[in-house]
Chains A and B, each alone.
Chain A
């Protein structure tokens, strides 16, 4: 029930395209859904996050769509750029006690061609 399933494993788009990465979860206790971006040799960095009471959140070129009934959420990257080439992880979170416990998806390696 703690698992978060992410797809696709890898994705290649042309510059300006709109890559979409999908995630699904089972545990309805999850109350926070962040996306992390990771470049080679770096740790994951928070990109954007959404709470389950909102169906969509947009920050710059990054948009999360959230479907609570289907227990699915997705990341859209508008006008993608070569600099967006990285590995993207979805995650789901609950708060046991005083800190968040993150469960990560398996990651999507995105390549944006110039």
Chain B
């Protein structure tokens, strides 16, 4: 079974530029999560999707961050414009309603550096 795929793995951009991250979850997983992981910290949830619906986006900074999950499969997380403080690893995870207790499987993440 293929794991969660994320791309790109690394991204370096200048501040004020836009950036997008892509995630392909494990096949059949209904739930998709985007997390932010700052250096030396645990992941923090940004947004959770159930199929194509964003059911928890309370921690997503909506002034500059947006996300979508078309057709309930792949997802894209966008930042526009990026700020220096956005430098972090962005992790995608997925889980299945059929798996008890809904374990989350993480991708390798995208390391973003904003200069």
| Contacts from A to B (Cβ < 8 Å) | 4, 6, 9, 32, 34, 41-46, 49, 89, 91, 93, 95-102, 104-107
Contacts and interface: CB of A to CB of B under 8 A. Distances in A.
A95 B56 contact: no
B104 A102 contact: yes
B42 A98 contact: no
Interface stretch (B12-20, B65-73, B76-84, B106-114): B106-114
Contacts of B108: 41-43
Given A6-B42, A91-B42, A102-B104, 13 more contacts: A42-B108, A43-B4, A44-B43, A46-B104, A49-B101, A97-B50, A97-B55, A99-B50, A99-B97, A100-B95, A100-B102, A105-B42, A106-B41
Q: Among A4, A95, A107, find the residue whose CB has the most chain B CB atoms closer than 10 A.
A: A107
B40 interface: yes
B3 to A, nearest CB: 9
Contacts of B31: 98-99
A98 B107 CA distance: 21
A34 B102 CA distance: 12
